[in-house]
Amino acid sequence: MAAFRIAHLSDIHVWEWTLNPVRLMSKRAVGMTALLLGRARRFRQERLAAVVEKVASIRPDHVLITGDLTTTSMREEFARAHDALRPLLRTPERATVIPGNHDRYTRRATRGRHFEHAFGRFAGGVEYPWLRFIADRTAVLALDPCRPAVGARGLLPEEQLAAARELWEDHHDEIDRLIVACHYPVDAPEGLRDDLAWKPLVNADELADWLATLGPHLFCCGHVHNAWAFTPPRVPDELCLNAGAPLLVDREGDSPPGFLEITLDGADVAVVHHGWDGSAWVERPLAHREGFLDPTRRRVGFPLGE
């Protein structure tokens, strides 16, 4: 099997100013104030074309975007994000896009399915969870715990988790390499836990308990604006990957914004971060695990608690 290369991006946070008072009469007013107060300075829209060009230059077999493409879920933001990402989204079979909490920012945007209108072609189903094959025996199982009007906390509905269990039970025989895609991580590496603590997935423990039964898998997320590759202690067979936010200004100079290049070669996984240091792209290997996705290491049905 030839190596399969995935470009993983997240948290692009395209933004648009709006001064329409009707639109500001909602949670969006909060988002717009935050934007006025700093997002415009922290998320550099003018970098997006260069990021897209760099992603295209690694010639990925698949592009995976794990949410927060927008800032306040406005149609104009979705349109702008879609236009800017067009070079990476030519073929729906070769791109997967899931929403983040900022893409479900208001009830109206969520009910109006703004995200789906812009990026629904790059999903494996209409409702979450869904599962899609992106390569031979390689599948993405997508979850959506994002919901409007409750701050930045996420909640994975019970029915969605039950449906995900069913999907996995029905399809695990056909899958060697499983990638769970979900905007919210269940945990963050030491040093970044505080960043997650004020905007957590409320029922992360429940999700983690299920993930721990899946055997070796990748979990691709965003939400905390730092790139990482780590294994949450509660989910010892998981390699959790966060792509970080590619347009974020790196104030400290120690966390260059960019994206991940994930190479799957048989059961081997290699992860490289491409970061922009202000003048050049810098490559940083984040993980290299030989045989990590070997399905014979899987313990499907392993009783919880053992």
- Contacting positions for Fe ion (CB under 5 A): 11, 68, 100-101, 223
Q: At what angle do helices 158-171 and 204-211 cross, to 10 degrees?
A: 10
CA distance 210 to 235: 9
Least distance (Å) from Fe ion to the CB of residue 301?
33
Q: CB count, 10 Å around CB of 165?
A: 14
Nearest residue (CB) to Fe ion, 4 versus 78: 78
Question: Residue 82: what residue type?
Answer: H
Least distance (Å) from Fe ion to the CB of residue 223?
4
Closest CA to 122 of 79, 71, 66: 66
Residue 216 DSSP one-character state:
S
Least distance (Å) from Fe ion to the CB of residue 101?
4
Least distance (Å) from Fe ion to the CB of residue 12?
9
CA distance 65 to 150: 23
Distances in whole angstroms, Cα of residue 166 to Cα of each of 141, 144, 162? 12, 16, 6
Whether the CA torsion 254, 255, 257, 258 is positive or negative: it is positive
Share in percent of the chain as helix, strand, coil (round to 5): 35, 25, 40
Q: CB count, 10 Å around CB of 210?
A: 18
Least distance (Å) from Fe ion to the CB of residue 241?
15
Nearest residue (CB) to Fe ion, 96 versus 138: 96
Tell me which residue has tokens 């997935």: 201
Nearest residue (CB) to Fe ion, 26 versus 72: 72
CA distance 125 to 138: 17
Least distance (Å) from Fe ion to the CB of residue 304?
28
Nearest residue (CB) to Fe ion, 151 versus 291: 151
Nearest residue (CB) to Fe ion, 105 versus 276: 105
Nearest residue (CB) to Fe ion, 116 versus 265: 116
Instruction: Please provide the DSSP assignment of 240-282 as one string.
Output: EEEE--TTB--SSSSS--EEEEEEEETTEEEEEEEEE-SSSEE
Nearest residue (CB) to Fe ion, 35 versus 134: 35
Nearest residue (CB) to Fe ion, 66 versus 138: 66
Least distance (Å) from Fe ion to the CB of residue 293?
27
Least distance (Å) from Fe ion to the CB of residue 215?
28
